[in-house]
């Protein structure tokens, strides 16, 4: 009885000690801050990027070389991260969809495991956030200056509700994140999502970076002067569209005072558009890097740095003039790839990089693994904790399934497979919700790329004789992956017909 009494007295402390072993998790997510603009993935911009704190994370943690989104557009990617499911499973296919508050998400599971949870910044999933003890989120896309943030006290659906906070959004979101960290219940481990609006179009930045790169001519991607389809099944989203937006909106929507392309030939106009676009983008990214530093410094001063997993990533990639494009949406590498760095000094070796194929649906599985929570069966991802430790499971995926569901003439709906070397995609060009055939500029078609011989995806080799056996095998594997993901049968008869005829 004496020993039992001592054990019962000690049990609360044992329980607290066990919970204290659960690491804190800080998940920093930006919008469109593509790998080319991080400066740790190489590329023509690597020497022009302000990335002191991103480099600190990379030097103190692990960089993923092959992290990919499963649908390269903001709202669906965020839903995939929250749910651990593909778009066709979580119901968030495109920008118009919402994530229902009663849907399962990893934050609810972390709450049940004793975590205090919060999200500050860009939410973009329309309905009220659930699973978070505290939320302070932008309505919709939000604005760069004097952002409105919505909380439980003033929530209204849509763009209504909220309160204005003075300053530049990236700075405000960081300050409010740190404020929550200071005032939270410190007897619990925390999960915090800090989500920046930057670097989304119109690529705005704070005054302190106004002259950053001002007198520099940034280098151009090698395929910058690509014109037309160049063997593709579409025209893409060329920089000329952004140039028109700049002419009409600079000084109003876009930063700067004026912008004109009058009198310039096509190449000179594209170059001028590129210089403004990329400089503004890197200025917006510089503000992100500043604020990552603020978050790291707070954790250092509070003594929580060693017990906190810090992740920085973006919701998808972005074209920075490659193929003459901007924006995202496509299965091509610049859009598909999610830059990702994770630091956790208690477990991960410093300065390591891994090549395994990791998907955004895997992120919540990793969070739950670190928290000691069993992954529910409805989640489709897989924890990559062992991969980060350099112990990749033998049965780890060697390929991935991707699908972009929205449809426009220049950015057609498509699905495909990416392996460690090859990529195959069917651009079928049909809206998910329509039963009549969309009027498209080009017919449905396949694209195939050998990423070893053609890493920039400049040659659609779908008809090259040397690859026909590989393409047949990839089509078979794509059919299997598509079905395994739960995207087995097309509900739209028009799409079903196009796919059947094209396969």
Reported confidence tier of residue 228, pLDDT bands at 50, 70, 90: confident
Q: In the prediction, which pLDDT does 223 show?
A: 95
Cα–Cα distances (Å) from 216 to 211, 276, 318, 425, in that order, read: 10, 11, 22, 38
Measure the CA–CA gap between 372 and 109, rounded to whole angstroms: 11
Check residue 466 and report its DSSP letter. G
- How many residues are recorded in the chain? 503
User: Which distant-in-sequence residues (6+ apart) come within 8 Å of 483 by Cβ?
Assistant: none
Distance CA 57, CA 288 (A): 13
CA distance 172 to 33: 18
> CATH classification of 400-502 is 3.40.50.920, yes or no?
no
- Residue 83 φ/ψ region, left for φ over 0, alpha for ψ in the -120 to 50 degree band, beta for the rest: alpha
Encoded tokens for 385: 């904790």
Please name the residue that has the structure tokens 């909380």: 151
In which residue are the tokens 């901007």 written? 326
Count Cβ atoms below 10 Å from residue 55 Cβ, excluding itself: 16
pTM of the complete model: 0.95
Question: In the predicted model, what is the mean pLDDT of residues 168-184?
Answer: 98
> Per DSSP, which regions of 110-156 are E strands?
116-121, 134-137, 148-149
pLDDT band at 229 (very low <50, low <70, confident <90, very high): confident
Smallest CA-to-CA distance from 30 within 117, 119, 120, 122 is with 122
* CB within 8 Å of 360: residues ≥ 6 apart: 67, 68, 69, 70, 77, 80, 81, 315, 338
Reported confidence tier of residue 380, pLDDT bands at 50, 70, 90: very high
Pair of tokens at residue 272: 């001028």
Q: Which residue from 129, 110, 111 is spatially nearest to 120, judged by alpha carbons?
A: 129
Residue 25 backbone zone (phi > 0: left; psi -120 to 50: alpha; other: beta) = beta
The answer to whether the beta carbons of residues 141 and 215 sit under 8 Å apart is no
Percent of the chain's residues with pLDDT above 90: 93
pLDDT surpasses 70 at 1: no
17, pLDDT greater than 50: no
b/e 359-382 (16+ beta carbons within 10 angstroms → b): bbbbbbbbbbbbbebebeeebbbb
Exposure string over 113-148, b if 16+ CB within 10 A, otherwise e = bbbbbbbbbbbbbbebbbbbbbbbbbbeebebeebb
The two structure tokens encoding residue 359: 């998907």
Which residue has 């911009």 as its token pair?
45
How does residue 190 score in pLDDT terms, banded at 50, 70 and 90? very high
Determine the straight-line distance between the first and last CA of the chain, rounded to whole angstroms: 74
Domain at 24-207+281-389, CATH from 3.40.720.10, 3.40.50.720, 3.40.50.2300, 3.40.1190.10: 3.40.720.10
Q: What is the mean pLDDT of residues 315-321?
A: 98
Mean pLDDT of the chain: 95
Identify the pLDDT of residue 88. 97
Give me the mean pLDDT over the 202-220 stretch.
98
Domain ranges of the chain: 24-207+281-389, 400-502
- For residue 122, which phi and psi values (nearest 5 degrees)? -80, 125
Residues 286-316 have pLDDT tens digits of 999 999 999 999 999 999 999 999 999 999 9
Strand pairing partners for 168? 145
Rg of the chain on CA atoms, in Å: 23
Going by their DSSP bridges, the two strands 308-314 and 116-121 should be labelled as unpaired
Average pLDDT over residues 272-284: 98
CA angle (432 as vertex; 428, 435 as ends), nearest 5: 95
pLDDT tens column, 391-448? 999 999 999 999 999 999 999 999 999 999 999 999 999 999 998 999 999 999 999 9
pLDDT score, position 19: 47
Among 102, 317, 294, 110, smallest CA distance to 199 is for 317
8 A C-beta contact, residue 418 and residue 474: no
Which range has the worst mean pLDDT, 16-25, 40-49, 365-374? 16-25
pLDDT, residue 4, reads 46
Tell me the pLDDT tens digit for each residue of 99-128: 999 999 999 999 999 999 999 999 999 999
Question: What pLDDT score was predicted for residue 7?
Answer: 43
Q: What is the pLDDT of residues 440-480, one digit of tens each?
A: 999 999 999 999 999 999 999 999 999 999 999 999 999 99
Beta strands, E only, 160-236:
163-164, 190-195
pLDDT at 489: 82
Is the pLDDT at 3 greater than 80? The verdict is no
Identify whether the C-beta of residue 475 lies closer than 8 Å to the C-beta of residue 424: yes
């Amino acid at each position: 009885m004496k020993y039992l009494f001592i054990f019962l007295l000690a049990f609360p402390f044992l329980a607290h000690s066990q919970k204290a072993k659960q690491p804190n998790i800080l998940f920093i997510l930006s919008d469109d801050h593509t790998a080319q603009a991080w400066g740790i993935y190489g590329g023509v911009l690597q020497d022009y990027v302000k990335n002191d704190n991103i480099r600190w994370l990379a030097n103190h943690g692990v960089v993923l070389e092959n992290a990919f989104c499963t649908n390269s557009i903001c709202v669906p990617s965020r839903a995939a991260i929250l749910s651990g499911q593909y778009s066709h499973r979580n119901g968030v296919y495109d920008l118009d969809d919402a994530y229902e508050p009663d849907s399962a998400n990893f934050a609810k599971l972390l709450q049940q495991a004793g975590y205090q949870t919060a999200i500050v910044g860009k939410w973009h999933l329309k309905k009220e956030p659930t699973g978070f003890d505290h939320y302070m989120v932008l309505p919709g896309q939000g604005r760069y200056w004097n952002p409105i943030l919505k909380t439980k006290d003033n929530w209204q659906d849509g763009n209504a509700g909220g309160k204005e906070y003075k300053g530049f959004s990236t700075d405000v979101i960081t300050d409010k994140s740190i404020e929550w960290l200071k005032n939270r219940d410190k007897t619990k481990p925390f999960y915090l999502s800090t989500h920046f609006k930057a670097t989304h179009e119109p690529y705005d930045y704070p005054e302190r970076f106004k002259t950053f790169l001002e007198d520099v001519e940034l280098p151009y991607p090698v395929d910058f002067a690509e014109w037309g389809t160049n063997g593709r099944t579409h025209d893409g989203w060329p920089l000329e569209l952004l140039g028109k937006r700049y002419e009409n909106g600079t000084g109003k929507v876009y930063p700067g005072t004026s912008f004109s392309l009058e009198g310039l030939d096509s190449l000179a106009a594209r170059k001028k558009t590129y210089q403004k676009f990329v400089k503004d983008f890197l200025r917006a990214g510089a503000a992100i890097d500043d604020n990552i530093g603020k978050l790291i410094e707070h954790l250092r001063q509070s003594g929580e740095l060693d017990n906190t997993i810090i992740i920085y990533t973006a919701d998808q990639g972005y074209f920075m003039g490659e193929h003459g494009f901007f924006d995202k949406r496509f299965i091509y590498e610049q859009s598909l790839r999610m830059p990702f760095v994770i630091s956790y000094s208690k477990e991960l070796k410093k300065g390591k990089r891994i090549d395994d194929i990791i998907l955004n649906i895997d992120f919540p599985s990793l969070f739950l693994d670190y928290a000691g929570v069993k992954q529910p069966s409805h989640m489709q991802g897989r924890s990559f904790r062992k991969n980060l430790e350099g112990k990749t499971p033998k049965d780890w995926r060697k390929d991935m399934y991707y699908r972009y569901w929205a449809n426009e003439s220049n950015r057609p709906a498509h699905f495909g497979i990416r392996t460690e070397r090859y990529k195959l995609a069917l651009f079928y060009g049909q809206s998910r919700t329509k039963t009549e055939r969309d009027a498209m500029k080009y017919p449905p078609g396949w694209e195939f790329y050998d990423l070893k011989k053609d890493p920039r995806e400049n040659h659609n080799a779908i008809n090259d004789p040397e690859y026909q056996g590989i393409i047949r095998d990839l089509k078979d594997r794509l059919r299997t992956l598509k079905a395994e993901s739960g995207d087995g049968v097309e509900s739209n008869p028009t799409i079903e017909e196009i796919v059947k005829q094209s396969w």
